[in-house]
Amino acid sequence: METHHHPLLSFLLLLLLPFSSHALPLSTNNRWIVDSATGQRVKLACANWPGAAETMLPEGLDRQPLPNIVAAIRRLGFNCVRLTYATYMVTRHAGDRVGRTFDGLGLGSVKDEIARFNPLVVRMTHLQAFDAVLDELGRQGVMVDIDNHVSKPMWCCREKDGNGFFGDEYFDPKEWLLGLTILARRYVYKPQVIGMGLRNELRGERQSEATWRKYVTLAGNAIHVANPNVLIFAGGISYASVLSFLKKKPLSTTFGNKLVYESHWYPFTAGPEKVWTEKPLNQLCRAKIDGYVNTTAFSFTAGGSAAVPLFVGEVGIPGTEVKKSSDNFLSCFATWAAENDLDWAWWGLQGGYYFRDNRTGMDEYFGALSYFWDRPRNPFLLNRLRLMQLKNQGNPTSRVGKAYLLFHPQTGDCMINNNLREIYAGHCGRQSSRFLYAGDGSPIMLAGSNYCLRAGGDGVRVQLTTACNAPESKWWRVSSSKLHLAAKEEKTGEYLCLNRDSVFTSDVFTRKCVCLVGYETGCMNGGDLEPTAQWFRLVETNVLYTN
């Protein structure tokens, strides 16, 4: 296939981080996933790669050669893949040939395209093809969480599709346990398989806490006996959005240093997506984060040995024609994810599907890759994920002192000092400036210097100054979201907030604050004010980047 590379793509690819190797297998230490050999924290920044539909083959092999797809994963800045599969692929169709399955579905033309780009695959069995994908991911240094998405191969997930909870029409717990055990044994010598997801988005009328505990424990034990190397990812109920029942009675296991809880978060989780444009956004963002922490993310905030790592196994918005509601959700999520340095997986990698919803060659608007799997669908959107892809916290033996990155979630950029007199917005990474901040009413100091940020006035670019006791150099986290950083103007005493006007300029100004507490009328509830241009987060880090 002839490919055409956009100049912006080439520029962005140069900025993406190189991959460091980890001594596998991985384990857990309190809230962190760590390298078992060294104890150093390993950050999972993954892309979902679907393979659980009727074709039982990881998507995209009809659009690009397999090595090209894996190389694209790395270029996009992801260091791992959440690779989905169906139980029946393992227990009923493991020996079926890929080509015959496509013929049986009336997808002969799609099979021909797979044969053009990946000629060996159509002659493989389904398990051999799955192995081939895992092997290529391993060759290129990409870690893999193999995720049991459904039992009967199909698009997931509907409330009553027979795949939702233990005992449903297609969800036989014994067959499910058998499939997990087979794959755990099969991949004991494939170190790139760092984890196994027990089941995607449990849901439906049958769901219960007691049944969840029973089968998570059974499955975790079975996997751990068969393959003690892998992490065990356990998602909650109600579409992987609820784990709050563990507050009263934590899960007791024999595989404790391998357990990771999994949750999913989309703009439409816990309510309609339209709320992200209908409610005052500062209040809504704070409420949504508090709700998510209460139902799921409390698991890593417990502190000490009671903490369990959390993996946000699916988060995403459409990359094509990004709606304002999705844009606002991502700005809110990114601030929280960066602040907590979460492990996570973007939904999804795929540019499209072999066959979905009775359509051949369906596009995927949520895909990180284009329809032809050869370039980013939306490079600007991917830039917003960059700080979330970097490891910022958690190295227990780090000699790097704690500092902060100044992050603008609406664009994904970090603040950079260029000449000790001003700051500007640029790509998060090695050049990002590090700041020190002692809390509300304190200056934001440029680390390693006696310079601090100064608000020069409404519509004036932010400067660096040595007059750090001046009113314009003392900063507060204001608004109900605590995402506005504001200093008081000396003459009027009014707050001036940091403000990034546009992705097309690197300038950072101070402007009159919008949507502060008590002044939120018109802010996303029928008015025309919205605060995300003024959202900035001080993100803690004890890591020095090498890219």
Instruction: Give the DSSP letter string of 108-158.
Output: HHHHHHHHHH-TTGGGSBHHHHHHHHHHHHHHTT-EEEEEEEESSSS----
What pLDDT shows up at residue 524? 64
Q: What are 493-521's pLDDT values in tens digits?
A: 889 999 998 877 899 999 999 988 766 66
Q: How far apart are CA 416 and CA 432, in angstroms?
A: 5
Residues of the chain with pLDDT under 50: 1-20
What pLDDT shows up at residue 20? 43
Q: What are 315-334's pLDDT values in tens digits?
A: 999 998 889 999 999 999 99
Q: How far apart are CA 64 and CA 1, in angstroms?
A: 8
Distance of CA 152 to the CA centre of its chain: 27
Q: How far apart are CA 412 and CA 145, in angstroms?
A: 26
Side chain identity at 203, as an amino acid letter?
R
What pLDDT shows up at residue 140? 98
Q: How far apart are CA 246 and CA 436, in angstroms?
A: 37
Report CA Rg, the chain: 24
What pLDDT shows up at residue 505? 84
Q: How far apart are CA 537 and CA 515, in angstroms?
A: 17
Neighbours of 294 (CB within 10 A): 12
Beta strands in 123-268 (DSSP E): 143-150, 193-197, 231-235, 259-265
Burial class (CB in 10 A: 0-12, 13-18, 19+), 3: exposed
Secondary structure class of 412 (helix, strand, coil) = coil
Burial class (CB in 10 A: 0-12, 13-18, 19+), 477: middle
Secondary structure class of 149 (helix, strand, coil) = strand
Q: Which two tokens stand for residue 4?
A: 């055409």
Check the CA dihedral 31-36-40-44 and report its sign: negative
Residue 293 phi/psi, 5° resolution? -60, -40
Report if pTM > 0.85: yes
Distance of CA 280 to the CA centre of its chain: 25
What pLDDT shows up at residue 546? 61
What pLDDT shows up at residue 8? 39
ω into residue 25 within 30 of 0, thus cis? yes
